[in-house]
Structure 1
Amino acid sequence: MSVAIRDVLSREEMAALTRKSDLRGAWAVTQVWLAIAGIFAVLIAFPHPLTFLLAVALLGGQQLACAVLTHEAAHTTLFRTRCMNEVLTDWLVARPIWTDVKRYRQHHMGHHVHTGTDKDPDMSLVRPFPGSRASLRRKLLRDLSGRSGIRRVIGLIGMDLGILRYTVAAEVERLPQEGRTWRDYLRDGLRNMGPVLIANGVLAGVLAACGALWAYSAWVVAYLTTFSLYVRIRSIAEHACTEGGAEVLKNTRTTHANWLARLTVAPFQVNYHVEHHLMAAVPYYRLKTLNRRLRDRGLVAPCAGYAEVLRQASAA
């Protein structure tokens, strides 16, 4: 069934759902950094291997929250004011996790245009599913061991130097290097990696000023481990094991998120993914309302949780 959202919602409903707010965007960014500050405060006050592991688990969720807000800004829905989407988001949530709004937007728009087709730039994230339970277990262990994270860092360095084409998917494409000199690599590296180093340097500097530079290691470990894990589970839930094709109701999934999922794999209502693909102009804080409207009108059904989705992804 092909869906035209204008046939489901009135013009007034669509206008209300797509209304953006600088205040709500600022509060979202503030929430992330208050949570990060709280995690570091507990870790510093109670230094112990168990609190370190807890911090790593929670910081990975906040890093994914940064990625989700970057995604919002890529759709220009995080802030009403465009420069806040482009500049404030870039420095406060994108650069700390080694990404940027502009390049991510260019990649991500292709995903929305070609979702579920061979032209979808993110197909490599979901193509392996469904697989066996052992295969899924190996992938999750690679994430938690840091192997996936190290591979991602190597890829990011290659992309920032202009050696690889930018992507957030699993497949990489090598760019032609004929005629490039060390000055080209240096220029691209400084332009792309400089802001990342500055943002992370500020975070490390604040911790150092608190006499706890060592706590920054939890941010790095989380980026290499739990962040990788949460990103994988999120991507599986959004599009893996669906029917595919160009129809949103068949190639995209909304997933029920309990409190634990919201702390880890589903911050900022990112689990309402069918709704996002149907109306990408809706800010994250109105996706739940959109879901309720669509359910009331019989367009979407109640959804399964993340555990059930992982079971489907490992059922082959």
Structure 2
Amino acid sequence: MGSARGSYDGGVLTTLVPQIEDLAEVLPSERLLLNGVAIPELRAEFRRISTWRNVRAVTLAWTWLLGLAYLGTHGGWLIGFACFIAMGPIHVRFAILMHEAAHKLLFRKKWANDWIGKWLVAYPAFVPIGLYRRSHFAHHREEFGPDEPDIAFYRGYPCEPRDLRRRLLRDAVGISGWKNFVVLLKALTKRASRPLASAILGTQLVMAVGLALVTGRWWSYLVFWWLPWMTQWRVLNRLRAIAEHGGMSRSDDRRLTTHNVKQSLLARTWLVPFNTGWHLAHHVDMGVPW
């Protein structure tokens, strides 16, 4: 994460909120306004959406998905296990591209952003993007506030190592994922939520048939898409949430609510692809695409 030192009590780290002396008074500047947003001339440039870059990103995500599933089913158990592990970061990529679509930043044309974002990105990733969009915008308005919808992901940090291990173990063995999957299944039994749940599960059925045809194995979807979503994605999503907001606090100063994640190769591969590690900048101006 960032370089802010946080605060200690008796040698124990109690918060990751930067200390006042660590926060340089640099705003406003020639390029940035007092709130950190770029001046209008630069902001227009920063907010330009690259359609072909996003076409390439979505295409590559699907290519990796299909390629790993095929290789995993035909390459022996060791290669299969490696492909299973490698599918975790592919789920991360689908999630980040879905996040771009939720912000209406995936494609310039609304119909393309909404259709591709829903049917080729969000629903394959088990995400009801309309509900996610409302919840996520509330997150941007209410970092650590009383109506913060994502507070459970990063409340209570720093924590005891054993507590973090327990949470990650629960994610890794599928307990957290199963709870989420059951919610989706139960949504089929309710008239109001049935159409949305049916659309998501129907998309998963199409993917299952498609992967079976591509790989020649009926179980490839379960092993190389559903199971990584149930397990690895939970671990990676929790770690990313902690890296973005863990140990911070409510404030009008975004530097006290949000971290940046160092853009190492490891981080960009496993947690924060598509420049999403620059999370502080995203919270300062959420209209800037990746």
TM value normalised by structure 1: 0.76
- Residue 3 of structure 1, CA deviation: 6.4
Contact 2:153 2:242 in 1 (8 A): yes
- Residue 13 of structure 1, CA deviation: 1.2
Q: Which deviates more, 207-216 or 230-239? A: 207-216
Q: 2:33 aligns to what?
A: 6
Partner amino acid, structure 1, of 2:91: Q
Q: 2:250 aligns to what?
A: 244
Superposed CA offset, 1:56-92 (max 9, x none): 2221211121111111111111111111111111000
Q: 2:58 aligns to what?
A: 29
Superposed CA offset, 1:137-177 (max 9, x none): 1111111111111112123344x35xxxxxxxxxxxxxxxx
2: distance between equivalents of 1:2 and 1:109? 28
Percent of aligned pairs sharing the same letter: 29
Contact 1:86 1:102 in 2 (8 A): no
Superposed CA offset, 1:261-299 (max 9, x none): 222211222111001001101101xxxxxxxxxxxxxxx
2: distance between equivalents of 1:85 and 1:101? 12
2: distance between equivalents of 1:197 and 1:103? 16
Match of 1:79 among 82, 107, 121: 107
Match of 1:204 among 183, 205, 208: 208
- Residue 107 of structure 1, CA deviation: 0.7
Q: Which deviates more, 212-221 or 69-78? A: 212-221
Q: How does 1:149-298 map to 2 (within 5 A)?
A: 149-158=177-186, 160=187, 185-186=190-191, 188-189=193-194, 191-210=195-214, 211-218=216-223, 219-284=225-290
Q: 1:299 aligns to what?
A: none
Partner amino acid, structure 2, of 1:14: R
1: distance between equivalents of 2:210 and 2:148? 40
Contact 1:242 1:252 in 2 (8 A): yes
- Residue 118 of structure 1, CA deviation: 2.4
> Which segments of 5 or more consecutive residues in structure 1 lack a partner in the other structure?
162-181, 285-316
Could you say what secondary structure the match of 2:145 adopts? coil
Query: Which stretches of structure 1, 4 residues or longer, exceed 4 Å deviation after superposition?
Result: 1-5
- Residue 2 of structure 1, CA deviation: 10
1: distance between equivalents of 2:287 and 2:279? 13
Q: 1:167 aligns to what?
A: none
Q: 1:314 aligns to what?
A: none
Q: 1:165 aligns to what?
A: none
Partner amino acid, structure 2, of 1:259: L
1: distance between equivalents of 2:115 and 2:26? 37
- Change beyond 3 A, Cα 1:127–1:81: same
> Which segments of 5 or more consecutive residues in structure 2 lack a partner in the other structure?
1-24
Q: 2:96 aligns to what?
A: 68
Partner amino acid, structure 2, of 1:201: L
Q: 2:15 aligns to what?
A: none
- Residue 245 of structure 1, CA deviation: 2.2
Could you say what secondary structure the match of 2:244 adopts? helix
TM value normalised by structure 2: 0.83
- Change beyond 3 A, Cα 1:150–1:14: same
Hey, which of these two has a bigger chunk of helix by percent?
1
Q: How does 1:30-49 map to 2 (within 5 A)?
A: 30-48=59-77
Contact 1:117 1:246 in 2 (8 A): no
- Change beyond 3 A, Cα 1:217–1:52: farther
Partner amino acid, structure 2, of 1:12: E
Q: How does 1:126-145 map to 2 (within 5 A)?
A: 126-145=154-173
- Residue 186 of structure 1, CA deviation: 4.0
Superposed CA offset, 1:15-57 (max 9, x none): 1100113222211111111111221122122031x33332222
